[in-house]
Structure 1
Amino acid sequence: MSFSKLLDILTGRDAQRSAVDWDAKYGTDTRSMVELHGLTIGHDSRRFGERYQASDPSVLGDAVAFIGLDPPLYRFVDLGCGKGRMPIVAAELGFKSCIGVEFADELALIARANAAAAGFKTIAIVHGDAGAYAFQDEPFVLYLFNPFGRQIMLRVRDNLLELRRAEYYVIYKNPRERGIFDEMSTLRYLGTPPAHKGAWGVHVWGPRRA
């Protein structure tokens, strides 16, 4: 490996270039980090939210391959979708429907514009509070990139436990509240995709089989 290539990896320039190329493909803008202050958020959850930072497009594909999923059989749900990158990536992978939930007015508008620019008919952006999102009783994948704190994550857990069937997987990047999923009797921890290891990498849970 050349020194310049190693420097790109260490400084994150490889990921930055990948993101630029991915946005250029669709004419979207999903890259720039956005802090919550200054955004319009009509929910009491504002104080528990985290800034928007896009996931590398490879994260979802690597996690799906690690699990061994067949995307057309699953709905995809991204809580705290920000500018909507991961629902678009999910649509690329062939998920049967791709939902992004975002509580900030401005980010939800951008996510809808990006989804429209990408041209996939399977994407829907829900402008609302992730803690109030009602999951459907069908197979799905839940994606999270450290979108909010423990208070909201506990609401998400409770909503998951309302389901009659636990036919879902959780893909959680930078899992600061991973203990919540570790403790759920309906889930079992599957590990991390090889390319995304580490405490703050990508961690995956699946349904606990009887």
Structure 2
Amino acid sequence: MKILQHISYFWYIAINWNTRIAWYIVRNEWRGEKKYSIHSTGHDELKHLALADVNIEHASIYMPVDFTLLETGFQQLQLPHLHFIDFGCGKGRALCVAAHFGFNNITGIELSPQLYKDAQNNIALTQHLFPHVNFHLINNDAFYTPIPSTANCLFFYNPFDEMIMQQVVLNIDKSLLEHPRSIEVIYITPMHKNLFLEKGYTETFHQRIQKYMEISILKKEDVSKAKRRG
């Protein structure tokens, strides 16, 4: 079953991108799924949501983040690993890997009920390895989801379009105003990076591995601390 999933995923990437990238990604899929003991390979165009009259106009299709990009993101973080949130968490790959990198409070937000269930299954596998970690899954639209006051690392893998991202950035700003703190963003395929830069975020890391594989780390300092120091 797993072999068939990887073959299917290879051809999906090869057709939509090219075979060179497909080989690169699928090799990483084998390595990463074995390393982290999860089952998150595959793609989902969210057609089942459209059939259920859920508006997917602003959502992106599900494809899991490349393990190498994900690991690079965690390695580049500068703040303490407190509370990690993945917007559009899919099958929970980033959530599970976050536990391996030392986060004890991990939240995933996912619109699709089926992907939400898949994330639950993968979290159950990871929970056996890290019983102390507090996982929290939310089956909801990120547009309407408030940002917890403890969240200091946010993750995006191009989960939705600019309209939704604008509102999510506003939600983040509201949380930071109510509970001042420094925050970091791991942004894979950063299509709307400008929305963060316009709000005073600084890009602390950027890398492009393949033509379609790009990562940006964005950081916003606690303004209240800066004022106190001044």
Q: TM-score range by the shorter chain?
A: 0.7 to 0.9
TM-superposition CA deviations, 1:113-167 (whole Å, max 9, x none): 1111222442222111111221122351100000000111111011111123142
How far apart, in 1, do the equivalents of 2:192 and 2:204 lie? 16
Q: What are the residue-to-residue correspondences of 1:79-98 with 2, within 5 Å?
A: 79-98=87-106
- Partner of 1:53 in structure 2? 63
Query: What is the aligned counterpart of 1:117 among 125, 140, 147?
Result: 125
1:24-43 correspondence to structure 2 within 5 Å: 24-25=34-35, 27-39=37-49
Q: Measured at CA, do residues 128 and 151 of structure 1 come closer, stay the same or move farther in structure 2, by a change above 3 Å? A: same
Contact 2:49 2:56 in 1 (8 A): no
1: CA distance between counterparts of 2:117 and 2:195?
31
Instruction: Decide whether the 8 Å contact of 2:50 with 2:56 is kept in 1.
Output: no
- Is it true that 1:64 corresponds to 2:77 in the alignment? no
Aligned positions of 1:143-154 closer than 5 A? 143-154=155-166
* Structure 1 unmatched ranges of 5 or more: 1-8
CA distance in 1, matches of 2:182, 2:141: 23
CA contact (8 A) 2:190 2:215 kept: yes
Pairwise CA RMSD: 2.6
The one-letter code matched in structure 2 to 1:30 is: S
Query: 1:203 maps to which residue?
Result: 216
CA contact 2:79–2:184 (8 Å) conserved in 1: no
The alignment partner of 1:101 has SS state of strand
Matched residue type, 1:179: N
Deviation, 1:199, is: 8.0
8 Å Cα contact 1:40-1:106 kept in structure 2: no
Tell me the CA shift for residue 57 of structure 1.
2.1
Counterpart residue number, 2:11:
none
- Secondary structure at 2:89 match in 1: coil
Compared CA separation, residues 13 and 125, structure 1 to 2 (3 A): same
Superposition deviation, residue 62 in structure 1: 1.4
Residue 146 of structure 2 corresponds to residue 131 of structure 1: no
Q: Which moved more, 1:26-35 or 1:171-180?
A: 26-35
Report the Cα distance in structure 2 between the residues aligned to 1:114 and 1:32, rounded to whole angstroms.
14
The residue that corresponds to 2:32 in the other structure is 22
Residue identity matched to 2:215: V
Distance 1:41 1:80 in 2: 19
2:168 and 2:60 map into 1 onto residues whose CA distance is 16
Tell me the amino acid that sits aligned with residue 77 of structure 1.
I
Alpha-carbon separation, structure 2, partners of 1:197 and 1:56: 11
**What is the CA–CA distance in structure 1 between the aligned matches of 2:101 and 2:51, rounded to whole Å?**
31
TM-score by length of 1: 0.82
Instruction: Give TM-score scaled by structure 2 length.
Output: 0.76
Who is 1:180 aligned against?
195
Q: Structure 2, unaligned stretches of length 5 or more? A: 1-18
Q: 3-state DSSP class of the match of 2:106?
A: strand
Distance 2:151 2:145 in 1: 16
1:157 matched to 2:169: yes
Provide the C-alpha distance between the structure 1 equivalents of 2:163 and 2:51, rounded to a whole number of angstroms: 17
